[in-house]
């Protein structure tokens, strides 16, 4: 998506205080050594007491304060998640808006699997571009992965799940709000034919957890590999990642080898999954240094891209005037690339 003018981003991340190291998980029998080695995580954050919407509220409160934004200014509160949010037949986005005092915002929930936070930023940018009177938009994500419904180490291939909340404030830069990063462009593309990877040959059930007492993403993926082969996914992922990288760079006015492009930031997936599906198309698309920020967080549900923005915003990875391409993907499948920079001239 080509932006009429760059937008400001203020980004934050909230982790629970408890962590489970990979060594402890192996010792407890939660994961075997071979799988842990393929994942490449050192530890995962684990929320024992804080529900996902409260994680999102904690991240958002810090971001709104840092961004100098009154909650009453917000036009949208967009919340994305992958797993259970704490109650049934209930709206977590409205809860988050209520807790924040964002009484003039429209709360919207996003079910885009692991790309939900990225799509939230794209929708926020669309709203700000389309309505000159719209106030800033807040994008939150939060997920918690607990047994018996989700095994954070073994429910899916290619990732282990960490608990976290993220928040990104999207605003016009001419206002009073603090800008951590400048958003120059986003590109998104989908491969809807890959929805079968998470469905297999299952029928559509009438009740939650109708296919088993625990969510098991591995089972339908085995069916996909049996029927179509994993190379089908790798080929489509290569084409889609290459496309969003090229489009986002072009819309930001950057050549793939622009010296200002410091990093290409990876999703927070396991090392083997990155090496198979994401690193090849990225490495073939730009010589920018690949950056993996997920070894101590795991895959944080709908919030990988947003968490990566928070780490870029809070650290000294980017100098003023330097850019990063932040890549993400999510089941369905959808792929998004965002181009951001550190404010200021280099």
Q: What's the confidence (pLDDT) of residue 175?
A: 81
Q: What's the confidence (pLDDT) of residue 345?
A: 54
| CB-CB contact of 44 with 19 (8 Å) | yes
CA distance 334 to 346: 34
The residues near 293 (Cβ < 8 Å, ≥ 6 apart) are 265, 266, 268, 307, 308, 311
Q: What's the confidence (pLDDT) of residue 346?
A: 44
CA distance 102 to 95: 10
Q: Provide the whole-model pTM.
A: 0.96
The residues near 242 (Cβ < 8 Å, ≥ 6 apart) are 281, 284, 285
| CB-CB contact of 38 with 271 (8 Å) | yes
Q: What's the confidence (pLDDT) of residue 3?
A: 94
| CB-CB contact of 241 with 185 (8 Å) | no
Nearest alpha-carbon partner for 220 in 232, 206, 203: 203
User: Is the omega angle on the peptide bond into residue 333 within 30 degrees of 0, that is, cis?
Assistant: yes
Q: What's the confidence (pLDDT) of residue 140?
A: 98
Each residue of 234-255: pLDDT tens digit?
999 999 999 999 999 999 999 9
Nearest alpha-carbon partner for 162 in 272, 87, 82, 216: 82
In the chain, the domains with their CATH numbers are 2-180 (3.40.47.10), 182-341 (3.40.47.10)
Instruction: Specify the DSSP class assigned to residue 21.
Output: E
Q: What's the confidence (pLDDT) of residue 212?
A: 85
Core vs surface per residue 72-89: b (16+ CB within 10 A) or e: ebbbbbbbbbbbbbeeee
> Which residues, given as ranges, of the chain have pLDDT below 50?
346
């Amino acid at each position: 998506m080509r932006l009429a003018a760059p937008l400001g981003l203020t980004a934050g991340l909230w982790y629970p205080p408890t962590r489970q190291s990979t060594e402890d998980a192996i010792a407890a029998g939660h994961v075997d050594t071979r799988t842990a080695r393929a994942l490449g995580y050192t530890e995962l954050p684990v929320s024992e007491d804080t529900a996902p919407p409260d994680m999102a509220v904690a991240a958002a409160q810090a971001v709104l304060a840092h961004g100098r934004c009154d909650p009453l200014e917000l036009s949208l509160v967009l919340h994305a998640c992958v797993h259970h949010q704490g109650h049934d037949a209930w709206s977590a986005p409205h809860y988050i808006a209520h807790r924040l005092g964002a009484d003039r915002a429209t709360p919207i929930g996003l079910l885009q699997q692991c790309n939900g936070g990225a799509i939230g930023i794209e929708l926020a940018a669309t709203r700000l571009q389309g309505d000159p009177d719209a106030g800033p938009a807040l994008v939150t994500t939060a997920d918690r992965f607990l047994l018996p419904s989700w095994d954070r180490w073994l429910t899916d291939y290619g990732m282990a799940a960490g608990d976290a909340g993220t928040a990104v404030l999207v605003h016009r830069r001419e206002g009073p709000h603090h800008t951590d990063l400048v958003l120059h462009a986003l590109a998104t593309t989908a491969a809807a034919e890959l929805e079968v990877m998470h469905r297999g040959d299952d029928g559509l059930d009438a009740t939650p957890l109708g296919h088993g007492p625990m969510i098991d993403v591995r089972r339908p993926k085995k069916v996909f590999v049996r029927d179509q082969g994993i190379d089908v996914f790798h080929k489509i992922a290569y084409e889609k990642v290459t496309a969003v990288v090229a489009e986002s760079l072009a819309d930001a006015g950057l050549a793939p080898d622009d010296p200002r492009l410091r990093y290409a930031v990876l999703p927070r997936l396991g090392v083997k999954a990155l090496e198979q599906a994401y690193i090849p198309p990225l490495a073939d698309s730009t010589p920018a240094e690949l950056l993996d920020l997920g070894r101590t967080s795991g895959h944080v549900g709908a919030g990988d891209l947003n968490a990566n923005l928070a780490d870029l915003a809070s650290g000294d990875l980017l100098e003023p005037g330097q850019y990063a391409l932040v890549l993400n993907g999510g089941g369905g499948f959808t792929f998004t690339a965002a181009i951001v920079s550190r404010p200021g001239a280099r």
